[in-house]
Structure 1
Amino acid sequence: MSTPVAVTDDTFTEEVLNSELPVVLDIWATWCGPCKRVAPILDQLAGEYAGRVVIAKLDADANPATVMDAGVTSIPTMNFYKNGRLVDTLIGAHPKPVIAEKIEGLLA
């Protein structure tokens, strides 16, 4: 079973933009209640989409440069990347079917 990959300001380009697979980047913080609700869903999806999509997590407090570059103003924010480009965004806590539908869009 696959688990989410931890991403930092230093590894963002390599892990997200240069990834050969589509990437879902969860931008979260330890104090964020909605982030805690989304975390187990992303853990499940990491296993279900292993080998097809990378689920990555970026701690917003510890990585302000990437957060600012991405224009994130609210968390959780899930950015969806394909071929090194941001193609979609979900802001806030969403149920598993909504997130899975966005992932399926990455694979289309």
Structure 2
Amino acid sequence: MFAEKSTDVVAVTGESFDREVLHADGPVLVDFWAPWCTTCRAMAPMIAELAAEHAGRLTVAAIDAAAHPEPAHDYGVVSIPSILLFSGGTVQKRIVGVHTKASLLRELSDFLAAHASSTENLSNRPELEA
């Protein structure tokens, strides 16, 4: 789903989840999706944009929860789309359901600010005005 749209989104499997997410050097956003989920498909371009915009500060990963159900089960994902934000191998925040880019950025702002390598203030970004 993401591979053809963005090289910034890491395609994660059940086998690579520990390495790519739990043992990542920095914060990780994991998008749990499924091919049959229309809202997941609608959010995919936005997730790819976030990956490109935050490259180097945030790893953005996507996992097909239908093909690789183990991580979804392990982390209590019962509804998709679901986004889990990880830091240090633990879930820091859950974002469930469809979101606009502006609402997702509002949800992400505290998490990103806590892990920002720069002094950029995400709350003053023009795209949050939408």
Q: For this structure pair, what is the TM-score category when the shorter chain's length is used for normalisation?
A: over 0.9
Structure 1, unaligned runs of 5 or more: none
Once the two structures are superposed, the pairs formed by residues 42-81 of structure 1 within 5 Å of their partners are 42-81=47-86
**Sequence identity (%):** 38
* Greater relative CO, 1 or 2 (CA 8 Å, sep 6+): 1
Once the two structures are superposed, the pairs formed by residues 16-31 of structure 1 within 5 Å of their partners are 16-31=21-36
Kindly name which structure, 1 or 2, has the bigger radius of gyration based on alpha carbons: 2
Q: What SS does the aligned partner of 2:76 have? A: coil
Give the corresponding residue for 1:87: 92
In the alignment of these two chains, the number of paired residues is 108
Deviation at 1:101, TM superposition (A): 2.7
Amino acid at match of 2:81: P
Calculate the aligned-residue CA RMSD, in Å: 1.3
Deviation at 1:2, TM superposition (A): 5.3
2:108 and 2:16 map into 1 onto residues whose CA distance is: 22
Alignment TM-score, normalising by the size of structure 1: 0.93
Q: What SS does the aligned partner of 2:20 have? A: helix
Assess if the C-alpha contact under 8 Å between 1:79 and 1:90 holds in 2: yes
Give the corresponding residue for 2:124: none
Structure 2, unaligned runs of 5 or more: 1-5, 115-130
